Amino acid sequence: MLRYLTAGESHGKALVAIVEGLPAGLYVTREHIDAELARRQRGYGRGRRMQIEQDRVEILAGIRYGYTLGSPVALMVENRDWKNWVDVMTPDPVEGKGGEHIPTGERVTRPRPGHADLVGALKYGHRDLRNVLERASARETTMRVAVGALAKRLLDEFGIKVMSHVIQLGSVVARVQGDYEEIFQRAEASEVRCADDEASEKMKALIDQAKQEGDTLGGIFEVVATGVPPGLGSHVHWDRKLDARLAQALMSIQAIKGVEVGLGFGVASRFGSQVHDAIGYRSYPPAEPGPGDFQGAERPGFFRMTNRAGGFEGGMTTGEPVVVRAAMKPISTLYRPLDSVDFYTKEPFKASIERSDTCALPAAGVIGEAVVAIELARAFLEKFGGDSLEEIRRNYLGYVKALREV
């Protein structure tokens, strides 16, 4: 089973991750991971923190000479801003501090509406809200993107690509046409990661307006995976349905409040004839079976004439592109804060301000790619798993060959 854990605080010394379950023999370099980390840091509307941090991964274990060993992979990304927070975030005992003994003037006591500050303090019994906000911060997603880079590297060996683009930011909705590769390339060239040039300019103007007004913005991004074979996931148990697992993974990203698969909520207002995907069949070419069997609009074998289901039926992939969307709420930290109540005095105050972004939606799409890639890789290994990449490849090609004989 592919699984991972992350640790680290927003202003702590470093962020770390341990990944277990990658097969031996997978080629991975720091450049693969750093490229994804750099994508996460870009985007119009990001705050000053992204000017401070230059995320670079350090591989601590599990990879030798560029190839995975089959043992756990350990990754670390240092926080450059740590040097400014050593006294505040030190793990070492400090006389007169700790537990309830942190001096009142050094505590964060004004919870932000929409953030984990207040509920986290109530749940864990903290007396300083910084103990909550440091881990609840979206800075944690740095390591999910790093882990996602490993998952993408595995999927790439089998022709599976995971991409994303912004389709709505605030009230601005993009009009996007073309195949997914073209859409993704246009999105990567946009500062807001939107493939519609006209909408991109309107989105940037809206971000400028929100920043001037001390406000924040959210929106919707779409993640697409192409080249996915049919049969990942399962219909037999609730926790093996892959579309449900993708929804959970996307909802686990900070500030995500809704997820759709395919038409999503659009199915509620349509007739069944406008929702379900008719099935067709194309003969296989004489070429050898391989990842190409599941790529392109004219792929062979059983196919769907539309893809309203977003690549899923019964919790399993159909062989069509996987299409999921996630709605991100505006960032909780406002530079014109909402009303709140002091944790100690119970007096009304304006909520505290932590350094933050005006809009982090472009980065959220990159994080969405990462968590989708992780879940797809996990499901892929469940079906074709082995101890080495070559063993997985044999299992995969055997399945592809069997599909041709149906």
Ordered by where they begin, the domains of the chain are 3-404 (3.60.150.10)
Residue 46, pLDDT score = 72
Residue 381, pLDDT score = 98
Task: For residue 134, give the nearest of 254, 258, 268, 309 by alpha carbon.
Answer: 254
Residue 377, pLDDT score = 98
Integer Cα distance of 142 and 144 in angstroms: 6
Amino acid letter, 250? L
Residue 352, pLDDT score = 63
Residue 18, pLDDT score = 98
Q: What is the pLDDT along the chain (406 residues), one digit of tens a residue?
A: 899 999 999 999 999 999 999 999 999 999 999 999 999 999 998 766 555 668 999 999 999 999 999 999 999 999 999 999 998 999 988 877 776 667 667 888 989 899 999 999 999 999 899 999 999 999 999 999 999 999 999 999 999 999 999 999 999 999 998 899 999 999 999 999 999 999 999 999 999 999 999 899 999 999 999 999 999 999 999 999 999 999 999 999 999 999 999 999 999 999 999 999 999 999 999 989 999 899 988 999 999 999 999 999 999 999 999 999 999 999 888 878 889 999 989 999 876 666 678 999 999 999 999 999 999 999 999 999 999 999 999 999 999 999 999 9
List Cα–Cα distances, 387 to 3, 18, 26, 396, 400, in angstroms.
15, 18, 11, 13, 20
Tokens 């690509």 correspond to 161
Residue 14, pLDDT score = 97
Does residue 277 contact residue 307 with C-beta atoms inside 8 Å? yes
Residue 268, pLDDT score = 97
Residue 262, pLDDT score = 97
Residues 218-247 as b/e (b if ≥16 CB within 10 A, e otherwise) read bbbbbbbbbbbbbebbbeeeeeebbbbbbb
Task: Please give the radius of gyration of the chain, using alpha carbons only, rounded to the nearest integer.
Answer: 23
Residue 354, pLDDT score = 64
Residue 205, pLDDT score = 97
Does residue 72 contact residue 19 with C-beta atoms inside 8 Å? yes
Does residue 24 contact residue 68 with C-beta atoms inside 8 Å? yes
